């Protein structure tokens, strides 16, 4: 009995549990459904959001693209009209400036593919085609243009090689630019920034890269570098391994850590020899520094003697103050016969003349403070006292025509002729050296007081 009751109780309990479970399940379900609907709704909403975002992005891209297309076609129409309108082009300088402005503005708004087409258009319109044999060529100056990532590939529809011979693109930004299978002979990239540029199976014969910045540039797949001018170019880490390097001018180029095989560096055939004057080799050492006189008309041999004192014109020297003459040693009124040519400079009243010498081809040596100058002259005065003196001295000037603050007071003329020389280190950042001839006379009209200067020489060598 007991057990029956117990059993009944158990039965009852089971029944109760079942009911409880059902009501729980009901509750759960009834709350799950809206939850699921909610989740579903959220999911759908998110998806819709994503779709509409994508749509909006697409629309935006399309709008951007349309805008770029409008900029591009507007530009082409405008410039084409200008090119075709010969009456407008009669004012060449103004038209070229107009084209430059329009081009730089358009380039700022365009993406890489249209930039490439724009450059193609200018090239085909002969506005960036450097025809050296034409006296009347019109060239647009694109200095400062942003052409990063520019890509010149073979025309896939025709597989024709692009022929860009005589391309004129100096002083532009061509970082990461790629030229594949192009003919780029006789082109000009002077002063352009071309870090990471890639030249693949491209013909670069007779192209100039003077003072271009080509760090990590790659010349690959039998790219031909024949008679290329890299004067003053920065080629740190550049890769030449898979290119043909012949008769290249590396004057003052920085090839530190560049990849060149020993056969490329030192071609066995003499007709393919390179120039490495003042260059830095891949191993970090300097190339040959040839000591030569950099002063022009250093011995007064040109335009000598000056016969018209009211317009003394001394070749290569600029008058700062006063009058300096050239005279012949064979004139009976002086007694300074020697072996420094036929003529000399003659000063008889306070005067200063100067000559600026560009030492840009020594910039790597100078900036490492390894460039030593040697200033020398044959000079002297009839008298030497507090009332007169003659000197040859130099100033050091930066690229921006600024005086570096460094001056060498140089060589002082004494009584009687004497050969004099002075040595020193060219200061950092010097790009020009100004050689001065100066004569000061505090007493007027005293004919016996005169100074003579001859054979003024300045040479540069690497400090030992």
List residues binding ligand NAG (CB under 6 A). Answer: 81, 85, 87-88, 131, 133-134, 148-149, 163, 165-166, 175-176, 183, 196, 210, 229, 231-232, 249, 251, 265, 275, 281, 283, 285, 294, 305, 308, 310-311, 327-328, 330-331, 333, 342, 361, 374, 376, 421, 423, 457, 459
Q: Which residue is nearest to ligand NAG (CB)?
A: 134
Task: Tell me the closest approach of the beta carbon of residue 267 to ligand NAG, in angstroms.
Answer: 12
Nearer to ligand NAG, 26 or 85 (CB): 85
Between 254 and 457, name the residue whose CB sits nearer to ligand NAG: 457
* 3-class state of residue 367 by DSSP: helix
- In the complex with ligand NAG, the residue whose CB is nearer, 3 or 308, is 308
Name every residue whose Cβ is closer than 8 Å to that of residue 197 and which is 6 or more positions away in sequence: 174, 175, 176, 177, 178, 179, 214, 217, 218
Q: How far is the CB of 283 from ligand NAG (least distance, A)?
A: 4
Look up residue 171 and give its two tokens. 């002083």
- Residue 351 Cα distances to 296, 345, 388, 413, 450, angstroms: 19, 11, 11, 14, 11
The smaller minimum CB distance to ligand NAG, of residues 30 and 119, is found at 119
Residue 176's φ and ψ, nearest 5 degrees, are: 70, 10
The least CB distance from residue 307 to ligand NAG, in Å, is 6
CB of 375 to ligand NAG, least distance (A): 8
CB of 48 to ligand NAG, least distance (A): 35
Give the residue with the Cβ less far from ligand NAG, 103 or 165. 165
Question: What are the angstrom distances between the C-alpha of 105 and each of 30, 132, 144, 415?
Answer: 65, 28, 11, 66
The Cα-based distances of 279 to 231, 245, 289, 302 in angstroms read 9, 16, 9, 33
Q: Are 390 and 377 in contact (CB under 8 A)?
A: no
Q: Which is nearer to ligand NAG, 26 or 241 (CB)?
A: 241
| Minimum CB–partner distance for residue 55 and ligand NAG (Å) | 29
Minimum Å distance from CB 112 to ligand NAG? 9
* Ramachandran bin of 371, using left for φ above 0, alpha for ψ from -120 to 50, beta for the remaining angles: beta
Q: Which is nearer to ligand NAG, 405 or 464 (CB)?
A: 464
Q: Which DSSP string corresponds to 63-105?
A: HHHHHHHHHHHHHHHHHHHHHH-HHHHTSHHHHHHHHHHHHHH
């Amino acid at each position: 009995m007991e057990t029956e009751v117990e059993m009944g109780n158990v039965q009852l309990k089971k029944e109760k549990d079942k009911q409880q479970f059902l009501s729980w399940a009901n509750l759960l379900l009834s709350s799950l459904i809206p939850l699921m609907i909610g989740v579903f709704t959220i999911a759908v909403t998110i998806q819709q959001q994503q779709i509409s975002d994508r749509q909006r992005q697409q629309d935006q891209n399309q709008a951007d693209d349309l805008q770029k297309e409008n900029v591009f076609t507007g530009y082409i129409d405008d410039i084409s009209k200008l090119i075709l309108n010969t009456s407008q082009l009669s004012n060449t300088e103004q038209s070229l400036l107009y084209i430059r402005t329009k081009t730089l503005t358009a380039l700022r708004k365009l993406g890489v593919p249209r930039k490439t087409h724009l450059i193609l258009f200018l090239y085909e319109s002969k506005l960036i085609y450097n025809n050296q044999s034409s006296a009347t060529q019109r060239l647009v100056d694109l200095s400062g243009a942003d052409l990063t990532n520019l890509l010149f590939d073979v025309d896939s529809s025709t597989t024709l090689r692009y022929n860009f011979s005589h391309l004129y693109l100096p002083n532009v930004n061509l970082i990461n630019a790629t030229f594949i299978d192009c003919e780029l002979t006789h082109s000009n990239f002077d002063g352009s920034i071309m870090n990471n540029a890639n030249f693949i199976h491209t013909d670069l014969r007779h192209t100039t890269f003077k003072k271009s910045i080509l760090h990590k540039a790659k010349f690959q797949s039998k790219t031909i570098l024949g008679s290329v001018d890299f004067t003053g170019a920065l080629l740190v880490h550049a890769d030449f391994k898979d290119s043909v390097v012949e008769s290249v001018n590396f004057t003052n180029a920085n090839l530190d850590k560049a990849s060149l095989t020993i056969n490329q560096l030192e071609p066995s055939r003499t007709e393919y020899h390179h120039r490495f004057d003042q260059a830095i080799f891949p191993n970090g050492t300097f190339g040959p520094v040839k000591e030569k006189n950099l002063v022009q008309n250093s011995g007064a041999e040109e335009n000598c003697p000056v016969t018209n004192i009211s317009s003394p014109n001394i070749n290569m020297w600029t008058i700062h103050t006063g009058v300096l003459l050239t005279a012949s040693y064979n004139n009976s009124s002086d007694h300074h016969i020697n072996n420094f040519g036929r003529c000399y400079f003659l000063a008889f009243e306070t005067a200063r003349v100067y000559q600026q010498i560009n030492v840009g081809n020594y910039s790597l040596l100078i900036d490492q403070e390894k460039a030593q100058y040697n200033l020398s002259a044959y000079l002297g005065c009839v008298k030497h006292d507090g009332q007169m003196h003659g000197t040859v001295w130099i100033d050091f000037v930066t690229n921006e025509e600024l005086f570096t603050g460094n001056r060498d007071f140089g060589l002082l003329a004494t009584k009687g002729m004497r050969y004099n020389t002075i040595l020193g280190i060219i200061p950092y950042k010097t790009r020009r050296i100004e050689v001065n001839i100066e004569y000061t006379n505090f007493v007027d009209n005293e004919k016996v007081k005169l100074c003579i200067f001859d054979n003024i020489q300045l040479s540069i060598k690497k400090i030992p």
